[in-house]
């Protein structure tokens, strides 16, 4: 499914608000003129939780991503598709 960068950021922001994240800040936003290519980063907070999300879209598809959830500064979950851990069955997708 092809998506525009602005629509993707709005979708993620709505999802975070829906689960109670009060503060959602877009910290980096770099679209290209087509709107289907670009990169963004955002951060959200809720009580002692923080979420960091970054995605790179190319032709409307997410080709690179990184998601991190922290509680009181400790990592609860990280999920990305950076090309490390090639021995993993789900390479490049993984939770380190």
What residues does each domain of the chain span? Answer: 5-80
| CATH match for 5-80 among 1.10.3470, 3.40.50, 3.10.450, 3.30.250 | 3.10.450
Q: What is the rounded distance in angstroms from the CA atom of residue 37 to the CA atom of residue 27?
A: 17
Confidence band for 78, pLDDT divided at 50, 70 and 90: confident
Quote the pLDDT of residue 93: 54
Neighbours of 84 (CB within 10 A): 12
CA atoms within 13 A on the CB side of 49: 14
The 10s digit of each residue's pLDDT in 1-34 is 689 999 999 999 999 999 999 899 999 999 999 8
| This prediction's pTM | 0.85
């Amino acid at each position: 499914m092809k998506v525009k960068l602005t629509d993707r950021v709005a979708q993620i922001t709505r999802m975070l608000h829906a689960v109670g994240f009060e503060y959602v800040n877009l910290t980096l936003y770099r679209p290209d003129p087509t709107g289907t290519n670009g990169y963004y980063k955002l951060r959200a907070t809720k009580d002692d939780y923080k979420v960091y999300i970054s995605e790179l879209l190319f032709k409307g598809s997410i080709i690179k991503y990184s998601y991190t959830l922290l509680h009181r500064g400790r990592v609860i979950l990280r999920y990305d598709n950076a090309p490390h851990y090639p021995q993993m069955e789900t390479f490049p997708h993984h939770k380190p």
